[in-house]
Structure 1
Amino acid sequence: AASKIKSVIVLGASGGFGTLFSQVLAKDGIVVRGISRKGTPRADATFTDYLSADPCNPNEEVLERVRSASVIVSCVPPGPCIRALEALAPHMSKGAMFTDVLSVKSGICDAYIALQDKFPHIELVSTHPMFAPAAGWKGMNTAVITIRGGEISSEFTRLIETWGSQTIAMGSGQEHDTVTAAVQNATHSALISFGLCLGKIGYDAEMAARIATPPHKALIGIINRMANINEPDTYWDIQTDNPNSDEVWAKLEEAVGEVHAAVKAKDREKFCDIISGFKPLLEKGKLEGHEPPAY
């Protein structure tokens, strides 16, 4: 069946997610139009057309595109995202959808809720692809928070699933940020601290690679990806913007201290109990198809 989505505008089109959206939407035969304050798209982008303009202060060329768009996808930071919504929504067609790809949702969802009565003619959905753009959609998860849904948001969710991503509906920005405090903040905090620790103890990467254990290989692979593929600013935004970040850091410091205290006290029972405690913590959330090797 033909898609109800005929034309998509991507704001912040010069970045990684803007480029990724251009690629998958163009393959689906959808007109995908980039708008960015930066003058040129990336070489691997496949936009139908690309306009260098400020969506927060739109000129007539921007508004002409907005009037015919089924969807506007914002790939810009929270402040410009909200300003763009306020500037563009009055010109969006009835039933069109505005969405974003921000990593932290409490603030943006609160803004959508505050503005939904002002713009009753449009659908408002906040999406979070739970991966870096370089990874692509296939096999990845995408969180979806619907403030006001409809035909276009349902079709957009279906499109994401055809790209190979599983979509997960979440009830609110607050729910999202509570879960991602563990999935992203705690995970990234531990990994960044691990990488920093290696540098402080004089890590010999060449020798370590020759004798590495499976857990070490796994962690080195992840921090290598963090350093070489992903944008460090993404991790910064997650750590600074998630309202639960301070609590996560406090608990991480507490956890490291608790393990260290058991080691210093030579308390074997306490140390083993900590590790054994992971089993009941994790047994309900096994990741299908991601069972680790026996270490």
Structure 2
Amino acid sequence: MSDFAHSVVVGGGGAVGGMFTDLLREAGSRTVVVDVTVPAREGGSCLVADVTAPGPELAAALGRADLVLLAVHEAVALRAVAPVTRLMRPGALLADTLSVRTGMAAEVAARAPDVQHVGLNPMFAPSAGLAGRPVAAVVTRDGPGVAALLRLVERGGGRLVRLSAREHDRTTAATQALTHAVVLSFGLALTRLGVDIRTLTATAPPPHQVLLTLLARVLGGRPEVYGEIQWSNPGAASARRALAEALRSFASLIGDDLDSVDSLDLLGGAVGDPRAAAGLDGVFEELRRFLGPGLAVRQESCHELFRTLQRIDDEGETDR
């Protein structure tokens, strides 16, 4: 028997909402999917409604639900907190799948402080499947419903990583906003170099092939999803500034001057100072310390990744 006899998934027609809908139904929950249009996967059984202004049918579904999960954009989820929680029965759980946590945590604390709430952010594309994948979990108000939903995610194979709202946003600013900025900036740089993609593909060593592959993966997604991560995460701007500053630092270490500005390099030494070239040794050492004991494991993982791209000899690849 499911811990959630009745559940409502708002945005269940999307990839993330659909993943949680399947998880709940497989556990025996009678799950109502709510969306603004009827998704093909629901075969016409979807409740078409606006969650920010629930009508009678949606209000009834929310009133009998043990769990209401919001798998919608942040702006919609924030507007939905007050009207949805007013209709939820005592003891029911509110959950959401937002990729930014601090705003939602504050809204729930202000509008529904007595309602159990947990945010679940799948750190992977839903098409990859839940098994073995990390799911960031941020508990705003704990309770038996929260524990039950977290158990359900673990039974489905998800690997829970529990964080505070602030820890979550600071971490995802690095793992998502920074990563996406690096990959898309790499692609933009290639377009500005005027190189031919066929020539690149034919001559690229494995590290470049991996970056091209990452670029292709990002481009397979929806721009608004990547844009929301950049715009809504409070730490994303700092991550992008750190990236820009790091590039300037790297350029100055090898005697370049990106902005023709006579300023001090972030890692020590003036821009264009020949002595700064030796600083690259220090950068390598600093980064090796940062990666710590996992360095060797990641190096081996990279070697295995390269082997899936092409047959290579063991010699020389680490320098390319």
Alignment TM-score > 0.5, same fold: yes
Q: Deviation per CA, 1:178-222: give whole Å up to 9, x if none.
A: 111211121111111111111111233323223322222222111
Measure the CA separation in 1 of the matches of 2:26 and 2:251: 53
- After superposition, the CA RMSD in angstroms is 2.3
Task: Pick closer, same or farther for the CA change 1:168–1:189 going to 2, 3 Å.
Answer: same
Task: Pick closer, same or farther for the CA change 1:284–1:52 going to 2, 3 Å.
Answer: farther
Alpha-carbon shift at residue 46 of structure 1 (Å): 4.8
Q: Which shifted more, 135-144 or 280-289?
A: 280-289
Measure the CA separation in 1 of the matches of 2:169 and 2:283: 26
Measure the CA separation in 1 of the matches of 2:30 and 2:43: 8
Measure the CA separation in 1 of the matches of 2:6 and 2:241: 46
Q: What's the counterpart of residue 158 of structure 1?
A: 151
Measure the CA separation in 1 of the matches of 2:209 and 2:234: 32
Q: What's the counterpart of residue 28 of structure 1?
A: 27
Q: Percent identity?
A: 27
2:81, 2:107 within 8 Å by CA — same for their partners in 1? no
Q: What's the counterpart of residue 313 of structure 2?
A: none
Task: Pick closer, same or farther for the CA change 1:69–1:169 going to 2, 3 Å.
Answer: same
Greater gyration radius: 2
Measure the CA separation in 1 of the matches of 2:43 and 2:224: 25
| Structure 1 residue identity aligned to 2:8 | I
2:266 is aligned with 1:274: no
Alpha-carbon shift at residue 21 of structure 1 (Å): 2.0
How does 1:180-259 map onto structure 2 within 5 Å? 180-228=172-220, 230-259=221-250
Task: Pick closer, same or farther for the CA change 1:5–1:207 going to 2, 3 Å.
Answer: same
Task: Pick closer, same or farther for the CA change 1:208–1:281 going to 2, 3 Å.
Answer: same
SS at match of 1:8: strand
How many residues are paired up? 286
Q: What's the counterpart of residue 86 of structure 1?
A: 82
Taking structure 2 as the reference length, the TM-score comes to: 0.82
Q: What's the counterpart of residue 259 of structure 2?
A: none
2:170 is aligned with 1:178: yes
Alpha-carbon shift at residue 68 of structure 1 (Å): 1.8
Task: Pick closer, same or farther for the CA change 1:205–1:100 going to 2, 3 Å.
Answer: same
2:123, 2:136 within 8 Å by CA — same for their partners in 1? yes
Alpha-carbon shift at residue 271 of structure 1 (Å): 2.2
Q: Which shifted more, 98-107 or 269-278?
A: 269-278
Q: Deviation per CA, 1:224-277: give whole Å up to 9, x if none.
A: 11101x222121111111112222222111110111112235654212322332
Taking structure 1 as the reference length, the TM-score comes to: 0.89
Task: Pick closer, same or farther for the CA change 1:69–1:48 going to 2, 3 Å.
Answer: farther
| Structure 1 residue identity aligned to 2:286 | G
Measure the CA separation in 1 of the matches of 2:64 and 2:295: 44
2:34, 2:47 within 8 Å by CA — same for their partners in 1? yes
